Amino acid sequence: MKHEDLRRALAASRVLVVGDVMLDRYWFGDVERISPEAPVPVAKISRIEERAGGAANVARNIAAIGGQATLLSVVGDDEAGSALQRLLNEHGVATSLHRDASITTTVKLRVVARQQQLIRLDFEYSPSHEVLAAKLDDFRAVLAQHDVVILSDYGKGGLTHVATMIEAARAAGKPVLVDPKGDDYSRYAGATLLTPNRSELREVTGRWGSEAELVEKAQQLRTQLRLDALLVTRSEEGMSLFEPAGVTHEQTLAQEVFDVSGAGDTVIATLAAMLAAGESLPRAMQWSNLAAGIVVGKLGTAVATAEELFER
Task: Report pLDDT digits (tens) over 276-297.
Answer: 999 999 999 999 999 988 888 7
Look at residue 298 and tell me whether its pLDDT is greater than 60.
yes
| Residue 204 binned pLDDT confidence (cut-offs 50, 70, 90) | very high
Cα–Cα distance, 101 to 249 (Å, whole number): 46
Question: Can you tell me whether residue 188 is helix, strand or coil?
Answer: helix
Among 15, 197, 167, smallest CA distance to 93 is for 15
Task: Return d(Cα 116, Cα 145) in angstroms, integer.
Answer: 43
Whether residue 34 is predicted with pLDDT greater than 90 in this model: the reply is: yes
Pair 16, 283: CB distance under 8 Å: no
What pLDDT is stored for residue 120 in this prediction? 95
Helix (H) or strand (E) holding 75: strand 68-76
CA distance 35 to 263: 35
Closest by alpha carbon to 131, among 152, 108, 157? 157
Of 20, 153, 179, 265, which is the active-site residue? 265
Element of type H or E holding 242: strand 239-243
Q: What is the CA radius of gyration of the chain?
A: 19
- Angle among Cα 8, 12, 15 to the nearest 5 degrees reads 130
Q: C-alpha distances in angstroms, 275 versus 71, 131, 303?
A: 18, 31, 18
Mean pLDDT of 132-157: 94
Classified as helix, coil or strand, 241 is strand
Q: Report the pLDDT value the prediction gives residue 259, as an integer from 0 to 100.
A: 52
149 and 171 Cβ atoms separated by less than 8 Å? no
Query: Which positions ≥6 away from 77 have C-beta within 8 Å?
Result: 99, 100, 101
**pLDDT tens for residues 209-262?**
899 999 999 999 999 999 999 999 988 888 999 999 999 999 887 555 555 566
Cβ-Cβ contacts under 8 Å for 173 (sequence gap 6 or more): none
Write the single-letter amino acid at 264.
Answer: G
Cα torsion 243, 287, 97, 299: sign: positive
Task: Quote the pLDDT of residue 255.
Answer: 57
Yes or no: say if 10 and 94 are a contact pair by the CB < 8 Å rule. no
Amino acid at 305: T
Q: How far apart are CA 202 and CA 194, in angstroms?
A: 14
Sign of CA dihedral 195, 125, 120, 71: positive
- pLDDT band at 119, cuts 50/70/90? very high
Contact between residue 175 and residue 148 where contact means Cβ atoms under 8 Å apart = yes
Please tell me the predicted confidence (pLDDT) of residue 256.
58
| Amino acid 122: pLDDT | 95
Most distant CA pair in the chain, distance: 63
Between helices 55-64 and 79-91, what is the axis angle to 10°?
20
Instruction: Tell me what pLDDT residue 55 has.
Output: 95
**CA 121 to CA 294: how far, in whole Å?**
27
Active site residue 77: no
Q: What percent of the chain has pLDDT over 70?
A: 96
Average the pLDDT over 69-88 and give the result: 96
The CA–CA distances, whole Å, from 217 to 12, 47, 183, 201, 212 equal 37, 46, 15, 9, 9
Average pLDDT, the chain: 92
The arrangement of strands across the sheet holding 41-54 comes to 41-54, 21-34, 107-113, 116-123
Average confidence (pLDDT) over 66-82 = 96
